[in-house]
Amino acid sequence: MSKLSITAGGLKLKNPVLIASGIGGYGAELIPLLDLEAIGGVVTKTIFEEPRPGNPPPRIAETPNGMLNSIGLEGPGIERYEKEKLTRLEGLDTRIVVSIGGYGPEDFAKLAERLDDLDRVDAIELNISCPNVKEGGLNMSTHPNLAEEVVVATRRVTKKPLWAKLTPNVTSISDVGRACLHGGADALSAINTLLGMRIDVDRREPLLARGMGGLSGPAIRPVALAKCFELVRALNCDVVGIGGVEDTSSALEFLVAGCKAIQVGTVVYAEPQVPVDIVAGIEAYMDKHGFTELSQVIGTLKVEETLLIGPKATKAK
């Protein structure tokens, strides 16, 4: 057992650093770029039952300290994913979390039932929060009851750890998180991208063909951190922190706030080595502060309770 090992949302990880969904394709694409066995795991790009063409271009735009994307969950469908993508990860000593999508609870359940039979799948992340799907990807994580229905339907058909990925585009993320936990989720992954937009003023057209897209990168980190802290504090549950992690210090912010693990996204496009560097950086931080287990770091934020805003759990989990 390494001192960086941790159990997050029912999944044992050798360290708390994963790559976020949609960043490294289906995982194997990252093999030449970084040592995947040095990190805790990879969340693969959201897969639907049927192939999806995604949105028309332009689908990417730069923003201050981040980017907008409206890829629209392009993908080959579960059949080809299983045969051509997942098999390429056989034998790799890192956790594989498979992100799934759908248009309603039955779609999620169908995929989860199929993945339940596959040993290579260590956990399932439910992407109920993609802003780029016309058919209503976002709806499911903006309504607590819809989110819960998705979790309940998938929980019924799989024993694998289930992580529900939440959108920040809501007034109360803890209401949605609570519903997911009630439905049987083992962890909440937060956050997916924030809805954003850019405009070319000379042409007076949006930079993305679909008008709006998902904002990611360091620009969203303070929002992500606030949402994660709200979830930890209000629900006292396992949270996987995502959003703008770009180095050791930003990863540690999420852990100190109470997240059990973190996922690294946009920065990997520019610097694929960053997740591996963060693992080494967390270890160096622990040595510097004399911590021998990651639990001595997680949730150690010093706060004056009476001054804080936001909901607080009334009883321990």
Catalytic residues: 130
Q: Is residue 248 within a helix (H) or strand (E), and if so which, with residue range?
A: helix 248-257
Annotated binding-site residue? 227: no
69 vs 154, beta carbon nearer ligand FMN:
69
User: 272 by DSSP, 3-state: which?
Assistant: coil
Place of tokens 């057209």: 205
List the x/- string, 9-48, binding to ligand FMN by CB under 6 A: -----------xxx----------------------xx--
**Cβ(125)–Cβ(96) below 8 Å:** no
Burial 95-132 (b: 16+ CB within 10 A, else e): bbbbbbbbeebebbbbbbebbeeeeebbbbbbbbbbbb
Helices and strands in the chain, H and E counts = 9, 16
Spatial CA neighbour of 123 closest among 30, 41, 51: 41
Give the residue among 49, 44, 47 at the shortest CA–CA distance from 23.
44
* Residue among 15, 158, 193, 250 that touches ligand FMN (CB under 6 A): 193
> In the set 15, 154, 174, 216, which binds ligand FMN (CB under 6 A)?
216
Q: Which of residues 105-144 bind ligand FMN (CB under 6 A)?
A: 127, 130
244 is an interface residue for ligand FMN by CB under 6 A: yes
Task: Provide the angle, in degrees to the nearest 10, between the axes of the packed helices 221-235 and 173-183.
Answer: 50
Site for ligand FMN in 152-191 (CB under 6 A): 165
Is 250 a residue that touches ligand FMN (CB under 6 A)?
no
**Contacting residue, 220, 231, 239, 298, with ligand FMN by CB under 6 A:** 220
Name the one range near ligand FMN by CB under 6 A: 3-11, 77-85, 142-150, 240-248. 240-248
What residues are designated binding site?
21, 45-46, 69-73, 127, 165, 191-193, 217, 243-244, 265-266
Footprint on this chain of ligand FMN (rule: CB under 6 A): 20-22, 45-46, 69, 71, 73, 99, 127, 130, 165, 192-193, 216-217, 220, 242-245, 264-266
